[in-house]
């Protein structure tokens, strides 16, 4: 039995996951819905949290986070 190198194992794992999720993948192409809007909100929240490092109170941070959701 030949030993599989790491790239072969990754290819086998990728093929397994593609066959496992084939219906979901095809549905994503058929309907065209994306989660881009939610991802952008998550990214903006992370930026605000990173910029707010060192704040002594949580109030200004939460008010700036609520500002992006309006």
What pLDDT does 4 receive? 56
- Residues 11 and 25 grouped into a single domain: yes
- Residues 24 and 44 grouped into a single domain: no
What pLDDT does 69 receive? 66
Cα dihedral 40, 41, 43, 45, rounded to 10, equals 160
- Residues 27 and 46 grouped into a single domain: no
What pLDDT does 1 receive? 42
Compute the distance between CA of residue 9 and CA of residue 20 in angstroms, rounded to an integer.
Answer: 16
In this predicted model, what pLDDT tens digit does every residue of 38-52 receive, in sequence order?
898 889 888 887 877
Q: Domain of residue 22: give its range.
A: 1-33
In this predicted model, what pLDDT tens digit does every residue of 8-41 receive, in sequence order?
888 888 889 899 999 988 888 888 778 888 898 8
How many separate domains does the chain show? Answer: 2
What pLDDT does 19 receive? 92
- Residues 26 and 40 grouped into a single domain: no
């Amino acid at each position: 039995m030949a030993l599989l190198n790491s790239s072969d194992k990754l290819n086998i794992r990728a093929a397994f996951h593609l066959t496992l999720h084939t219906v979901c993948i095809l549905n994503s192409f058929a309907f065209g819905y994306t989660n881009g809007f939610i991802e952008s909100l998550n990214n903006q929240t992370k930026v605000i949290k990173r910029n707010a490092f060192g704040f002594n109170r949580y109030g200004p941070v939460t008010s700036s986070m609520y500002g992006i959701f309006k």
